[in-house]
Every structure is written in C-alpha cells, then in structure tokens.
A and B are shown apart, each in its own frame.
Chain A
Amino acid sequence: MTEQFKKLSAACAEQEENLVLLHYGDLTGAERDTLQSHLNSCAACKDYLQDLGKLLPLTLKSDEPPETFWADYNRELRHKLDDAAEKPRWQQKLAASLQPRLVPLFATAAVVALALAFTLGQSLWTTNEPPREEAAMLEVLPVAENLEFFKALDVLDDLELLEFMGSQGSAA
C-alpha cells in the first residue's frame, strides 16, 4: 500500500478541492484565475491535476446497448405501465362498488366484533375473584362450623345434666 501512495503527488491541501473542481470545469472567474496562477508556480499541484486527468477517466464505464435492447426496454415498460394503470382502476372499481355499503358493512362488523368479544371474553378474561361454587362454600363453611360448635354445646349441656344427676344420686 505504501508503495502505491508513493506514486501520488501531494497537492497543497488548501488547493485540493479547487483542483478537483478545475478538473471538472466547475471553477470559474476569480477562483479559476487564482488557481491557474498558483499552478504556474506549484509543481505539486500541477502533478496532482495531471494525476486526476489520468485516473478519473478510468472510473468511467459506459454501456451502449444495441437497438434490440431498447425495443425490449420500451415493450417491457409499456406492459409494466399497463399493469400499474390497471391496478388503481381495479382498486377504484372495488372501492366504488363498496362505497354505498360501507357504512352498514362497518356497523355490522362492529356489532359482530362486540358480540364476539363479549361472548369469548367471558371465558377468556380471568379475574382474581374465586369461582361461584367456591364462594358459596366459603359462605356455608363458617355456618357449618358454628353448627358443630352448637352441637358440642348441646353435648356439654347433656354432660352438665348428667353431672347434676350424678351429684344428686350420690347425695341420696
């Protein structure tokens, strides 16, 4: 790589951009005159300009296709333009045919969507609330527990009665 850079002429840094423009003929008036007079006294810039003249044409690549190419080109493009013109026409027809029915169509679609959302949503949406059966059980359970308690109290009552009867018996 260093070898290849050795071949290049280094121009005055502040002149490089203008040298490129001069090469392309894009420098006019006072700027061009100033650069031209600079070139008369600066060999480096002169070499740089010559390098551009040799190198930049190498990057050019033109292609001159035969007549048949252009015939195909035009035919192909015409077909593509036909297709492109046909497409909006087809879309316009569809839109025009749907136009009077659009409002009822959207309304029906909205109603169907709502109905579906409502029906499916019930089974899909989950909440933190327990299911109904479980809630009922939770309500009944304390009552049942209380019932057991009262039953136990009944037994205690019976025990008291037995004790009373026992104490009476022993006293006799």
Chain B
Amino acid sequence: MNPGDEELVASARRGDRRAFEELVERYQQRAYHIAFNFARDREDAKDLSQEAFLKAFANLKNFDGRSSFYTWFYRILVNLCLDYKRRQKRAPADTFDETVENEMDPSHQPEKPRSPDQQVWARQISLRVGQALDDLPARQRTAFVLKNHQGLSIKEIAELMETAEGTVKVHLHRAVTALRQSLADFV
C-alpha cells in the first residue's frame, strides 16, 4: 500500500530523501501543468515547478501540517508563478509557440496540416488569449487559472489564495467578464 502524503512528509522531515522524491513523483505533472498555465512556456513551466519543489524541500521543517501537503505546496507554486508573471510584465516578450496554436484551434487535428487561414486564426486567438490573461489583475488571473485550467473547487481556490469563497467568486466573475470581452471576436 502506498504511504500517504503525511507519512511521506514525516519521513522527508527526518531526512529521508526518497520520501521527498516520492512526493515529487506524485505531484510533478500537476505542478508542471499549473506552472504551464501561468507561464505558457515549457521551459519556464519546468523551471517554476522545479523551483517550487526545491522551496518545499528547503522549508519542509516549517510545514506545520495544518493544511495538506498538496495545499501547502500548491500555494508555494502559485506564488512563484505570480512572481514570474510580475517579472515578465516588467520585461514583456512574444511568447507565441506552436503548442498554443494547436490547443487554440478547435478544428485542429495533429496529423492533418492546417490551411493558412486556420493558422492565422489560431495565432490570433493564441495572442489574444495570452494578452487577455496577462491584462487581468493577479488575483483574478489566479482564481481564473485555478478554476478554468485546474478545475479546483471554489473552496480549494479560497484555501490556496487565503481568502473567502465569496471573494474568489467575485474574482472569477470579473476575470470571465474581462476575457469574454477580449475574446468576443471569436464567438
């Protein structure tokens, strides 16, 4: 039977590296995908998620167990992602890549090459989505990404963001309203 997170955390705190690596294996994909939703770049998402694990490892002794390891770790990760977005805002760059195109185009089929029109359309959506997400205030974007991309419940998001559920609902509504206006062309 697989040990639970609490057990692994306790072992890792006693210096068992293997136990921490087990936690990494358990959450690395989810961590990567969250980071990717914020960064929209594979390398950056890898760096961010790895940094979150390193930070968790270094601060394991400070983990008081009041929340689950998952919640505690995701809070570290989301904060790192938000810092990353703040840094990126100071030095904006064109982050368009092929993966985005593929995801944004509903008619996309990997084996079939797309027409130039479809490519242009997908590129437009990708850029607009990226821009619209970047334009959202940090807490709205966090609430939106955790709900829309990660499918967390309002309660979980509230716990992660250390705020009331009602506040999360307001952030989410405002984010959706702003995105809806930005993407109206594509309805």
Q: Which residues of A contact B (CB under 8 A)?
A: 4-5, 7-8, 16-17, 20-21, 24, 26, 51-52, 54-63, 65, 69-70, 73-74, 76-78, 80-81, 84-85
Which of B2-10, B82-90, B170-178 is the interface stretch? B170-178
B-chain residues with CB within 8 Å of residue A65 when the two chains form the complex: 32, 42
- In angstroms, Cα B49 to Cα A80, docked, is 12
B-chain residues with CB within 8 Å of residue A4 when the two chains form the complex: 181, 184-185
Contact at B53–A77, with CB atoms within 8 Å?
yes
User: Of the candidates A24, A52, A76, A84, which one forms a contact with B180 in the assembled complex, judged by CB atoms under 8 Å apart?
Assistant: A52
B-chain residues with CB within 8 Å of residue A56 when the two chains form the complex: 148, 176, 179
Q: A61-B37, A63-B33, A81-B57 are in contact. List 12 more A-B contacts (CB 8 A).
A: A24-B148, A26-B154, A51-B187, A55-B184, A58-B106, A59-B179, A61-B40, A61-B104, A70-B29, A73-B28, A73-B46, A81-B21
Contact at A20–B103, with CB atoms within 8 Å?
no
B76 interfacial contact with A, CB 8 Å: no
User: Of the candidates A16, A77, A80, A85, which one forms a contact with B177 in the assembled complex, judged by CB atoms under 8 Å apart?
Assistant: A16
Report, as a range, how many residues of chain B touch the other chain.
Answer: 35 or more
A-chain residues with CB within 8 Å of residue B28 when the two chains form the complex: 70, 73-74, 77
- In angstroms, Cα B37 to Cα A52, docked, is 19
Map CB proximity to A onto B5-33 as digits: 1 under 8 Å, 0 otherwise: 00000000000010011001100110011
Contact at B24–A77, with CB atoms within 8 Å?
yes
Given contacts A4-B184, A61-B99, contact A17 B169 (CB under 8 A): yes
Task: Identify whether the interface residues of A are mostly helix, strand, loop, or mixed.
Answer: helix
B-chain residues with CB within 8 Å of residue A20 when the two chains form the complex: 169, 172-173, 176
Contact at B40–A58, with CB atoms within 8 Å?
no
Report B50-88 residues with CB < 8 Å from chain A CB.
Answer: 50, 53-54, 57-58
Contact at B50–A73, with CB atoms within 8 Å?
yes
B-chain residues with CB within 8 Å of residue A63 when the two chains form the complex: 33, 36, 42, 45, 99
A-chain residues with CB within 8 Å of residue B183 when the two chains form the complex: 55, 58-59
B127 interfacial contact with A, CB 8 Å: no
State how many angstroms separate the Cβ of A49 from the closest Cβ of chain B: 11
Task: Identify whether the interface residues of B are mostly helix, strand, loop, or mixed.
Answer: helix
Q: Which residues of B contact A (CB under 8 A)?
A: 17, 20-21, 24-25, 28-29, 32-33, 36-37, 40, 42, 45-46, 50, 53-54, 57-58, 99-100, 103-104, 106, 125-126, 129, 132-133, 147-149, 153-154, 169-170, 172-173, 176-177, 179-181, 183-187
State how many angstroms separate the Cβ of B179 from the closest Cβ of chain A: 6
State how many angstroms separate the Cβ of B38 from the closest Cβ of chain A: 11
Contact at A8–B184, with CB atoms within 8 Å?
yes
B-chain residues with CB within 8 Å of residue A59 when the two chains form the complex: 129, 132-133, 148-149, 179, 183
Which residue on chain B has the smallest CB distance to residue A62?
B103
Q: List 24 contacting pairs A-B, 8 Å CB cutoff, sorted by A.
A: A8-B180, A20-B169, A21-B169, A21-B172, A26-B154, A52-B180, A54-B187, A55-B187, A57-B106, A58-B125, A58-B186, A59-B133, A60-B148, A60-B149, A61-B37, A61-B99, A62-B36, A65-B32, A70-B29, A73-B50, A77-B24, A77-B28, A81-B57, A85-B17
* For the complex of A and B, 10 pairs with smallest distance between CB atoms: A4-B184, A17-B173, A61-B103, A20-B176, A63-B36, A4-B185, A77-B50, A55-B183, A20-B173, A59-B129
